[in-house]
Amino acid sequence: MNTVHFTLPSVLPSRPALQDTTTTAKQVESGLARVTTPQDTPIFICAFQDCNRLFPSRDRLMFHRKRDHDSEEDGDIITWNE
């Protein structure tokens, strides 16, 4: 069985954020999309090069970092919760 593995380049090209003009209010109400907050959806991203894994808490991220990177460095974390 093949495992499909997606990766992102460590540097992504930036572009201006544009207003979403294609999603209708009805689609939003039907649950295809929703507005969330840092309290509802905590996001902590391991920003070590080529990792970019996403975790629901700083503790989970640090556990991953220790196990997978053999590091207790607490920098290079992207989050909107702190």
Q: Which residues contact 20 (CB under 8 A, 6 or more apart)?
A: none
Binding track over 32-51 against Zn ion, x by CB under 5 A: --------------x-x--x
Given the complex with Zn ion, which of 20 and 70 has the nearer CB atom? 70
Element at 40 (helix H, strand E): none
Closest contact distance (angstroms) between CB of 12 and Zn ion is 17
| Residue corresponding to tokens 């970019």 | 52
Q: CB of 36 within 8 A of CB of 74? A: no
Q: Is 77 in the site for Zn ion (CB under 5 A)?
A: no
Residues binding Zn ion (CB under 5 A): 46, 48, 51
